[in-house]
Structures are given as C-alpha cells and as structure tokens.
Amino acid sequence: MFDASTNPAAVLFDLDGTLIDSEYYWMASERALAENHGKDWTEEDGKNLIGLSLDESSRLIKAHLQSDLEPVEIVRQLTDSVNNLLGSKVPWRPGARELLLTLREAGIKTALVTMSMRRTALQVVDAIGFEAFDVIVAGDDVVRGKPHPEPYLKAAELLGVRPEDCVAFEDSVNGLTSAEAANTKAVGIPNMMNIPAKSGRILWPTLDGVTVQDLQNLFRDE
C-alpha cells in the first residue's frame, strides 16, 4: 500500500483539455479540413474524438469526410494547424500551470501524457517558462493510444515508479479510462465533455487551488 504520509511518486498530466484549453483549436482545425472537402463538421463530431489517439481520430475523420488523404496526412495537417494556433496563444487551464510549478518546487516527478504529436507537446512545454516535466509520452511514442493504458504505463516505466503510486489528471472519458486501466490514482477534471460518475471514480471540478496535500489525501482512504 502507498504511504499516504509521503508525496505521490509522480503526477501525470494529459495535455489537451487538461493542461491547456486547446480542444477548441483541434475542433477549428477539423472544421477547416472538412470545409476543404466540402463537408460539414459539427461540434458533436469534434467532441466524439476528444481523448482518442490521433491515429484513430484521423481514420474516423477520413471516413466521415470520404477523404482521399491518408490518415498520416490528416494528422500532419491538423497538427500543423493546431501548432500554428498555439504559436499565437497557449490557453492554460485554471490552476494547471500553477500546480506544475508547485510540484516541481516540491521535487515531485511529473510527466506529460498526450495523444498529440511530440512536436505539439514540445511547443507547449517550451512555453511553460520552467522545466515542467521529467518525461513526455506523446501520441507518436506509443503503439496503442488512449483509452488503452499503454501511454500511462509507459510514463510510469520511464519515470521508474509504479503506476499505482501516481496521480493522473484527465479531462475526457477516453483519457480517464486509460489512466484508470493503468491503475493510477486517476482524477477527472471535466472540461468540454461530461465525465459520468461511477463507483471508485474520482472527479474534481478544477485544478485551481489544488495542493500537494490534496494529492496525498487521495491515497489515505485506500
């Protein structure tokens, strides 16, 4: 059993929708791609992709748009578009950047676990303003993306810690399912999508004001 008197072994952060409020950027990019194909793209279409790997998302987009583009080209175009938007503004989620700084000052290991491409992750990391992460696991670093547990299992392995001794923050059902399946102490922070409550699931309204003690408390009821 984890010793609740000490800090979590590591804290793992999703990127889109959790660390930054970038789902709107992805949806705008998807809509532009659809318009180039003479197709409609609704908000519901975009929400259906939240938390999925880019590989799976691109295949769903290709089918929806009846596109001649290969999935890898769809991923490239969407990533280029989102990175361009991030170059103008990185929209931080409330409390996320502040919590990261608190964790670094406390000497707690951190990882970014995202289904975005590594180049997108690095662009955001470069904008944080301090060395925020020990490890980055991106969509092009795994074989099976979220909701499979591989991304979180890989992050824990690279950090040299047990996943059950880690806290993971996610904003989507697909992402939270990945973190839960990896046996982390998974915490849902709903953003654009509702995350249904169920037995054993942890949901918080925000990361704003979250302290290290709050993270320690997650392990006290085990």
Residues that are catalytic: 14
Tokens of 174: 């697909």
- Classified as helix, coil or strand, 86 is helix
Pairs from 61-69 (Cβ < 8 Å, separation ≥ 24): 61/30, 61/33, 64/34, 64/39, 65/33, 65/34, 65/37, 65/39, 66/37, 66/39, 67/37
The two structure tokens encoding residue 116: 């975005």
DSSP string, 6-56: S--SEEEE--BTTTB--HHHHHHHHHHHHHHTT----HHHHHTTTTS-HHH
**What tokens were used for 137?**
């696991």
CA distances (Å), 50 to each of 132, 157, 214, 219, in order?
Answer: 24, 25, 27, 28
Residue 92 CA to residue 16 CA, distance in Å, equals 10
